[in-house]
Amino acid sequence: MPWNEHCHRRYERPIQTTENPIRAFNPAWHPLYNGQYSDIVGACPGCGANRIKVPSRTAVVALDGERIDCGGIVIAVDGACRNNGQPDARAAYGVFHGEGSDENFSRIVPSNHPPTNQVAEIFAAIAALKKLQLALRPWDPDGRVACKVLIRSDSSYLVQGISEHIWKWKKNGYRTAKKQTVENWKLFQRLDELMMDFEMNHIPVWFWHVRREFNTEADALANSRMLGEEPPVGLRSSRLRFQRKTRIDDL
């Protein structure tokens, strides 16, 4: 997976300073952060996708006039479930790259998985990384470049699970301290495998736990899919009409 000259990793935490990779993002790491999401994230002027801002005079200018690292990918994910826990439950997830971005998408949770909100949240993260992984083509000079990935989520279950609890789960064979099987362990295992692939290629993946009101776009994508409705105009991809025929394999 390729690198680019604006991967200013010194402005964030390194991939590994402890026994395990650091996966929970702390916005205080970033020198531009002053309490606002927009301090760190800006939209690419070409595609509308969100990227991490950098204090560099040679980086690309974002839509708000500040500089962004085109290799600093920012993705928002969320899951939604109607009638959670009931026999007629229906769950979906949304992945948001930026307003009007072709990369925005949403899916229904496959029927061979429990239709719950937590399952949908993990699926969203898996699908986001899987699609990004398929787009990263180091052998193709026109392929996408990425040097770090920041995933925004309002789910403490997802963020704490994959950034904190996962290490103990793996050591214990995905069993809790009470020797019970970790709920949704296969999905967490799949997400962990995807993240390790990025990490082994020197691309850190961080999860940023935000309040629900700061994750409305991914939430809207998930809910519109769950209800069978078209997403709001600003969230639609120009390729939306093809999404029902598109599958991301091996989820």
Helix (H) or strand (E) holding 41: strand 41-43
pLDDT (tens digit per residue) in 90-145: 999 999 999 989 899 999 999 999 999 999 999 999 999 999 998 876 545 555 57
- Arithmetic mean of pLDDT over the chain: 85
pLDDT score for 241 = 38
Q: Which two tokens stand for residue 218?
A: 């991914």
pLDDT score for 237 = 58
Rounded to whole angstroms, the Cα distance separating 51 from 99 reads: 12
Rounded to whole angstroms, the Cα distance separating 177 from 169 reads: 9
pLDDT score for 139 = 47
Rounded to whole angstroms, the Cα distance separating 111 from 71 reads: 35
pLDDT score for 12 = 52
Extents of the domains making up the chain: 9-77+95-108+121-214
Low-confidence ranges of the chain (pLDDT < 50): 1-6, 8-11, 15-16, 139, 238-250
pTM of the complete model: 0.86
pLDDT score for 141 = 53
Rounded to whole angstroms, the Cα distance separating 222 from 138 reads: 31
pLDDT score for 18 = 66
What distance lies between CA 158 and its chain's CA centroid?
A: 11
Whether residue 80 contacts residue 220, with contact meaning beta carbons closer than 8 Å, is answered with: no
pLDDT score for 42 = 92
Cross-strand partners of 60: 68
pLDDT score for 228 = 93
Closest CA to 225 of 48, 49, 79: 79
Domain 9-77+95-108+121-214, what fold?
Nucleotidyltransferase; domain 5 (3.30.420)
- CA 189, 17, 27, 30 dihedral sign is negative
Buried b (16+ CB within 10 A) or exposed e, 79-97: bbbeeeeeeebbbbbbbbb
